[in-house]
Amino acid sequence: MKVKVVIARKTTNEPVTPSVKKIIEVEEKDLLLSIPDEKNIYWVDVKNAYPELEQKLKPLFAGKDKISVGDLKKLLMGAQKENKFYLSEDEWQGAQQELNHVYEKPQEVIQLNLGPTLVEEIKNDPTMDSFFIKFSNLMKSSGHPVHSQTVAWARIYKFPDKWIIEEIQSDLFGATPRIRDIANSSIEDILENFNDEQKKHIEDFWVEHFSDWDKKLVATIISMARKDGIQDIWVFDEDVKKVNLTSPSKLDRYYKVVPRDLGFKRDTLEVANKKFSAWHRVVASRI
C-alpha cells in the first residue's frame, strides 16, 4: 500500500478560502478507500506512510502491531480535520544575505500557515477575525515570501550535501507570542485599533496556539531534510545574524535558543572558502 499524506502545497498570495481547501490532501486516496475495512494494516507501514501524523495515529494502535483499515480511515479523517497549521513551499528571489554571490539558485521558503481548525476558530471570534483580516491585508502588500495565511517562515539554502537555514522569521510575532515582544511597527499599528481587553484576548490566543512555532518549524525542516537524504543542517548563529537583524531578543531566540534546544552544536560552516560561526546537526545516518 503506497499512500502519502501531502501537507505542503505551493501557494502564493492566494485568498483564504481557496487555500483552506488545500490544507491536507491524500494522494492515491482512492487506493485506501478501495481496501475493505476489515483488512488489517501494520503499524510499521503506517508510520512510514504517514510520518506527519505518527503521534495522532499511534494511540489507536495502543501497542498493537496492526489494526483494521476501517479504524485507520476514521482516525485519518479526524486527524485531518484537527490540523491547526499547514505548510507551503515557495522560492525566494529577493536579496540573499550571508551567501550573496555564492549561492546562485533561489532560496527555498517553508511557510507556516493557518490551518482549517484555526481558520474556523478565528472566523467565529469577532476580535480575532477583525485582527487577522487586517493582518492578511498587510501580508498581501508586504513584499515578503508569504501569502495571506502565512504567520511565519524559514528561508533555506539547499545545497546538494547540506541545508543552511538562513532566516527564521515572522511578521506577526517577536521572540515570543507576547505582545510585549513585538518588534514590528505595522503590527503595533494594527493593535492600536483594539482596546486593552481585546489586546489581552489576542495575546491569549497567540500564546495558546503559537507557542514554540519556531521550534516546530525547524523540526519540520529537519524531517524534510531526512526525507530528501540530507545529512547535515546548519543554522547561522547570533554573531552572523546580528549584521542584518537588530532585535536582540530575536537574535537570542531564533539563532541561539531554538537550534540549541533542538540538538544543534556550535561549529564552523565553510562555504566557497568563506567561514561562518553556525549551529550544526547531523540529521541522517552517514554511510
Per-residue model confidence as pLDDT tens digits over 41-89: 777 776 776 665 666 667 777 778 887 877 766 665 554 445 688 888 8
- 150, 112 in Cβ contact below 8 A? yes
Q: Per-residue pLDDT for 229 more than 80?
A: yes
- Residue 147 located in a structural domain: yes
User: Cell numbers 531534510 correspond to what residue?
Assistant: 225
- 88, 54 in Cβ contact below 8 A? no
Position 231 scores a pLDDT of: 92
Q: Per-residue pLDDT for 32 more than 80?
A: no
Residues 42 and 173 in one domain: no
Q: Per-residue pLDDT for 158 more than 90?
A: yes
- 173, 210 in Cβ contact below 8 A? yes
Position 246 scores a pLDDT of: 84
Residues 69 and 91 in one domain: no
Angle CA(86)–CA(165)–CA(231) in degrees, nearest 5? Answer: 95
How many whole angstroms separate alpha carbon 45 and alpha carbon 51?
A: 10
How many whole angstroms separate alpha carbon 183 and alpha carbon 77?
A: 39
Residues 183 and 44 in one domain: no
Position 53 scores a pLDDT of: 61
How many whole angstroms separate alpha carbon 127 and alpha carbon 72?
A: 37
148 against 213, higher pLDDT: 213
Residues 133 and 218 in one domain: yes
Query: Of the ranges 34-38, 162-166, 187-191, which one carries the lowest mean pLDDT score?
Result: 34-38
User: Cell numbers 478507500 correspond to what residue?
Assistant: 33
Position 17 scores a pLDDT of: 32
User: Cell numbers 540529521 correspond to what residue?
Assistant: 283
Domain C-terminal end among 66, 82, 98? 82
- 187, 139 in Cβ contact below 8 A? no
Torsion, CA 92, CA 97, CA 99, CA 100, rounded to 10? 80
- pTM as predicted: 0.71
Number of separate domains in the chain = 2
Query: pLDDT above 70 covers what percent of the chain?
Result: 77
- 128, 121 in Cβ contact below 8 A? yes
Strand ranges inside 181-231, DSSP E:
none
Q: Per-residue pLDDT for 114 more than 70?
A: yes
Closest by CA to 171, choosing from 200, 142, 198, is 142
Q: Per-residue pLDDT for 1 more than 50?
A: no
Position 14 scores a pLDDT of: 36
- 179, 199 in Cβ contact below 8 A? yes
Residues 63 and 193 in one domain: no
Query: What percent helix, strand, coil does the chain show, rounded to 5?
Result: 45, 25, 35
**What is the residue range of 160's domain?**
85-282
